[in-house]
Amino acid sequence: MKPSGWLELLIAAALVVLAAFVPMFANGYWLSIAVTGMMYIALSTSWALFSGPTHYISLATGAFFGVGGYMVGTMMSDYQLSFWVPLIVAPLVAAALALLIGIATLRLSGVYFVIFTLGLAEMIRNLISWIQNNFLGSRGLYVLTDFRDHHLYWMLLGVAGVIYLLGWIVNRSRIGFALRIIGNDETVARHVGINTATAKVIMFTTTGFFAALVGAIIAPRWSYIEPNQVFSPQLSFLVVIMALLGGAGRLWGPLVGVIPFTIIWEWVGVQFPNQSTLFLGLAFLLIVYVLPNGVVGRIEQLRDRIGEGRS
């Protein structure tokens, strides 16, 4: 183990502790932005666990996130269960779903996988509407709790911390090594005896689990859940954009992307309320063309160049 690994973990832990104090200083408005930011930090970091090393761009975040939010709604509203039950059950259901989907689709390569995951959120939304309509007959899903923004913020911070720790462990494990080889050349990976399908499915399931957990935590904030709200394709795109902006190649890359993007996105929303989708498209183009490895990748590139200049 390199000492830098421990140092990285120590810095991360210090940041988590610092971040825990944000609700003490931020007022309601800034805290609500912080909740949104923390939500995207958790989602992007977990997304990058799978998509970063493997280079499989997944647009399924919205689908799993929606499963989390929807299950909180239906279990609390239709079955009068406590919030904590769906909080545990929903991520497990999403993980099972991700497992099935992973087994079925992760043999697909590149663009086919992207298209499939894009359709997934839509498919699950329709499936849930159909089930609700034909078997449950719901009366609108209410999530009435006493949670306030700072509670949700702390829960999300905890989840983000766990995801980070998990990523740190994975990066130093056999599976992390396998994923990196898969990302570089899947054929080579298979030839050296890596069970590529298993490695991919395990990580894909993990991201599904965490996306649903985040979706479940954020549900009390909306108080009222409709399938059309929680299965948002825009969410999937935002997560990808933020992760790519920061750089999906490093565990802390998405973090670097999310914070400025959330603040800029907020500013755009207030200044140009009718052009925000246009901005999203432009941001996507810019990142892909100008920062293919994200801000972090660009910084490391510069550092290498300076290093070369010295020697």
Residues that bind another protein (CB under 8 A): 27-33, 36, 126, 129-130, 132-134, 137-142, 144, 148, 218, 221-229, 232, 266, 269-270, 273-274, 276
* Residue (142 or 177) nearer to another protein, CB: 142
**At its nearest, how many Å lie between another protein and the CB of residue 121?**
14
The pair phi, psi for residue 250, each rounded to 5°, is -115, 150
Least CB distance to another protein at residue 143 (A): 9
> Closest CB to another protein among 274 and 311?
274
Using only the alpha carbons of the chain, give its radius of gyration: 20
- CA 272, 218, 220 angle in degrees (round to 5)? 110
How buried is 239 (Cβ within 10 angstroms: 0-12 exposed, 13-18 middle, 19+ buried)?
buried
Q: Which is nearer to another protein, 51 or 77 (CB)?
A: 77
Choose between 204 and 265: whose C-beta lies nearer to another protein.
Answer: 265
Is 155 or 182 the residue whose CB approaches another protein more closely?
Answer: 155
Which run of H or E residues covers position 136? none
Instruction: Indicate left, alpha or beta for 252 from its phi (over 0: left) and psi (-120 to 50: alpha).
Output: alpha
What does the block give as tokens for 264?
A: 């800029």
CA distance 221 to 146: 10
Q: How far is the CB of 263 from another protein (least distance, A)?
A: 12
Assigned token pair, 33: 């932005």
> Which amino acid is located at 255 in the chain?
L
Q: How far is the CB of 29 from another protein (least distance, A)?
A: 4
Contacts of 184 (CB under 8 A, 6+ apart): none
Q: Which is nearer to another protein, 109 or 134 (CB)?
A: 134
* CA atoms of 288 and 241, how far apart (whole Å): 9
Shortest Å distance, C-beta 7 to another protein: 36
- The DSSP bridge partners found for residue 141 are 225
Taking alpha carbons only, the member of 226, 60, 220, 252 closest to residue 155 is 220
Shortest reach from residue 45's CB to another protein, in Å: 19
Least CB distance to another protein at residue 32 (A)? 5
Between 70 and 252, name the residue whose CB sits nearer to another protein: 70
CB of 84 to another protein, least distance (A): 19
Tokens of 280: 């999203």
Q: Which is nearer to another protein, 88 or 136 (CB)?
A: 136
Q: How far apart are CA 226 and CA 142, in angstroms?
A: 9
